[in-house]
Amino acid sequence: MTIERTTALVFLICALAVPAMISGFVTFQLTMLLIYAIAIMGLNLLTGFNGQFSLGHSAFYAIGAYTAAILMDQFGIGYIWTLPAAGLVCFAVGFLFGFPALRLEGTYLALATFGLAVATPQILKLTPLEHWTGGVQGVFVMKPNAPFGLPLTSDQWLYYLTLAAFVLLYVLAKNLVTSRTGRALLAIRENPIAAQSMGINVSLYKTLTFGVSAAYTGIAGALGAIVIQFVAPDSFGFMLSVTFLVGVVVGGIAWLPGAIIGAAFILFVPNFAEDISKGLSGAVYGIIMILLIYVMPSGAGGIVSSALRVLRSR
């Protein structure tokens, strides 16, 4: 068995066992960690693997969250079904956004996606949409209980549900990036002109990747809405996009397991910084980030892959 498989197995066993040993609040935090990990994984597919920069993923997270909240609140749809629905809606939005993005490179794409991030919370507040979105107030949703009489608290059930979604989406992403499609994504990132001359339909792959990436982040948003039981426009600002990007970089560009590490970083390090100094928490967080990028410029993924290379060459 390879090191990768062993690690995955150990991770899974720990992840399954852990809720029995921790408090409801920590369970909730771990659920949020998995949710962020899904969002980061989605962004990594786009930015890390395909080389398309996005500062707009808070918008897809928001659209996913609102899709779930509105479907539950207005249409009485079961929360489970809101997850694929959020994925589909965000796939469509991401795919369509991918078309104009095709004409934009690097910094210009960053700027366009930044626009998306800035516009979305405002649009969600618009009066004509208020009937669905609840305007500034947002939408409250009911906390689901464990089904089939499972002996789990609501927090534990949502944790396991999120874990299942994470594992499923991880396996799909892993299959994708190790396949013909994944090679095409990397080839486009490395040299789009050569990729095209090798028979890759660059525009199609880029737009589809935008869609898939948005779908991942949208599903994360939907899970977030269910777990937090509330959506409001101002929780999905531009800073959330930056936070996801930090997660991608800390975890490792184009390294899927890094999503967990990146999510842990964006979830726990700000709290840790606050513990060190209440007044200067932002500065502490910033300095930790600078040090980290200095010490491991290619993120946790870079360290792991160098370690693996050393192990294998022995």
Partner 1 sequence: MTSPVASIRDVAMRFGGILALDGVSFDIGPEQIVGLIGPNGAGKTTLFNCLSRLYTPTSGDILLHGRSLLGRPAYSIAALGIGRTFQNLALFPKLSVADNIKVGGHAEIAGDFISDALRLPRARAGARELDRRVGAIVDELELGALAQRLVGDLPFGTQKRVELARALATNPSLLLLDEPAAGLNHEEVDELGGVIRRIRDGRRISILLVEHHMGLVMSLSDHVVALNFGRKIAEGTPLKVQADEAVAAAYLGGTAQ
Site for partner 1 in 263-302 (CB under 8 A): none
The residue from 153, 181, 229, 281 that contacts partner 1 (CB under 8 A) is 181
Distance CA 83, CA 165 (A): 9
Distance CA 27, CA 38 (A): 17
- What does the per-residue mask of binding to partner 1 show for 143-172, with x meaning CB under 8 A? -----------------------------x
Nearest distance, CB of residue 186 and partner 1, angstroms: 6
184 binds partner 1 (CB under 8 A): yes
Q: By rule CB under 8 A, what count of residues binds partner 1?
A: 26
The residue from 23, 74, 137, 201 that contacts partner 1 (CB under 8 A) is 201
Distance CA 3, CA 286 (A): 33
- What does the per-residue mask of binding to partner 1 show for 207-246, with x meaning CB under 8 A? -x---x----------------------------------
The residue from 23, 175, 277, 306 that contacts partner 1 (CB under 8 A) is 175
The residue from 173, 223, 259, 266 that contacts partner 1 (CB under 8 A) is 173
Q: What letter represents residue 100's amino acid?
A: P
The residue from 17, 20, 21, 193 that contacts partner 1 (CB under 8 A) is 193
The residue from 80, 136, 142, 198 that contacts partner 1 (CB under 8 A) is 198
The residue from 194, 276, 283, 287 that contacts partner 1 (CB under 8 A) is 194
Cα torsion 156, 159, 161, 163: sign = negative
Stretch that binds partner 1, among 26-34, 36-44, 108-116, 179-187 (CB under 8 A): 179-187
For partner 1, the closer of residues 21 and 193 by Cβ is 193
Interface with partner 1 by CB under 8 A: which residues? 172-173, 175-176, 179-184, 186-187, 190-191, 193-202, 208, 212
